[in-house]
Amino acid sequence: MSPKPDDFVVVERGEAPLILSMPHVGVGLPAGFETRFVSPWLARRDADWHVDKLYAFARDLGATIVRTTVSRSVIDLNRDPSGQSLYPGQATTGLCPVESFDGEPLYRPGEEPDADEIAARREAWFGPYHWALTMEIERLKAAHAKVVVYDCHSIRSIIPRLFPGELPQFNIGTNSGAACAFELRAAVEAPCAASGLGYVVDDRFKGGWITRHYGRPEEGVHAIQMELAIRGYLPEPEIVDEGNWPVAFDRRYAEPVTNVLRQALEGALSFARSS
């Protein structure tokens, strides 16, 4: 598929063997969608808020950044396009979610997308994002023996429907080791472990469709997911509501987590450039 360029897919090219994918930073709701959702705020609430600002330093490392401006409530670019669950038996949201992370209905009664509309959304938004990501991988593979796809995510720290208790600060996913070499995992894990902020590997978040689909270590493409608990870079309210969420991004507040992430990306680059 070679779709026309679209302004909802934003590609910032670098020449280093590192791609940052940001499939959930978008909060845009296309024309006609706002009135179908229970509320525009609820349709935007579960975005990966300010992750693009958090990783702004990656430009200085020569990384390529691929992100979207469309809300994950319209279509989730990190889900299996077939609709198959990535976490069978566990609560999750689908390709075109009809529920929030907390299980609230996203759509007004009778406004949920049917199979034909889901297919149309897949063609309109899913295809172009993954075409752009694929093209950047191929471009960098032509110049480097190894390329790292680092999938950037964040989530509220406490969501009982999805996980018990409070989520660790850094949640690294490698699809149980299938998506990347152990050396890449170790390079990303080391600064998280040294931070004292808490981390896990391949626990609740083993990596979404992007990590699982693009991670082909035998072909020189190594994919890894980082899911952050939002409290580390935003002052996260105990109870999130329309009056207090989202919180404005403050670089000083986020600095401790930013420093760890910088070390993680530097480690990923060192791995990619090693023989």
The residue type of 219 is E
| Nearest alpha carbon to residue 64 among 127, 143, 122 | 143
Question: Strands 9-12 and 170-173: what pairing?
Answer: unpaired
**Is 182 contained in some domain?**
yes
Question: Strands 9-12 and 64-68: what pairing?
Answer: antiparallel
Contact in structure between 255 and 219 (CB atoms under 8 Å):
no
Locus of tokens 């808020």: 49
Record the tokens describing residue 131, joined without a space: 């075409």
**Is 64 contained in some domain?**
yes
pLDDT above 80 for 268: yes
Task: Measure the CA–CA gap between 1 and 232, rounded to whole angstroms.
Answer: 39
Distances (CA, A) of 88 to 33, 91, 138, 141, 171: 29, 8, 31, 33, 19
The CATH number that applies at residue 142 is 3.40.630.40
For the segment 151-164, the average pLDDT, to the nearest whole number, is 95
pLDDT above 50 for 236: yes
Give the max Cα distance, the chain. Answer: 56
Task: Measure the CA–CA gap between 178 and 174, rounded to whole angstroms.
Answer: 6
Tens of pLDDT along 48-94? 999 999 999 999 999 999 999 999 999 999 999 987 766 666 657 78
Task: Measure the CA–CA gap between 272 and 275, rounded to whole angstroms.
Answer: 8
Task: Measure the CA–CA gap between 21 and 9, rounded to whole angstroms.
Answer: 11
Please tell me the predicted confidence (pLDDT) of residue 53. Answer: 98
Contact in structure between 173 and 207 (CB atoms under 8 Å):
yes
Whether the link from the prior residue into 191 is cis, omega within 30° of 0, is no
**Is 4 contained in some domain?**
no
For the segment 173-187, the average pLDDT, to the nearest whole number, is 98
Please tell me the predicted confidence (pLDDT) of residue 275. Answer: 76
Q: What is the pTM assigned to this prediction?
A: 0.95
Tens of pLDDT along 85-144? 666 666 577 899 999 999 999 999 999 999 999 999 999 999 999 999 999 999 999 999
**Is 2 contained in some domain?**
no
- In the chain, how many domains are there? 1
**Is 66 contained in some domain?**
yes
| Nearest alpha carbon to residue 64 among 23, 11, 24, 114 | 11
Please tell me the predicted confidence (pLDDT) of residue 204. Answer: 87
What is the residue range of 25's domain? 9-273
Q: How confident is the model at residue 151 (pLDDT cuts 50, 70, 90)?
A: very high
Residue 275: CB atoms within 10 Å: 4
| Nearest alpha carbon to residue 132 among 79, 50, 64 | 64
**Is 70 contained in some domain?**
yes
Helix (H) or strand (E) holding 173: strand 170-173
Task: Measure the CA–CA gap between 97 and 76, rounded to whole angstroms.
Answer: 7
CA–centroid distance for 105 within its chain? 22
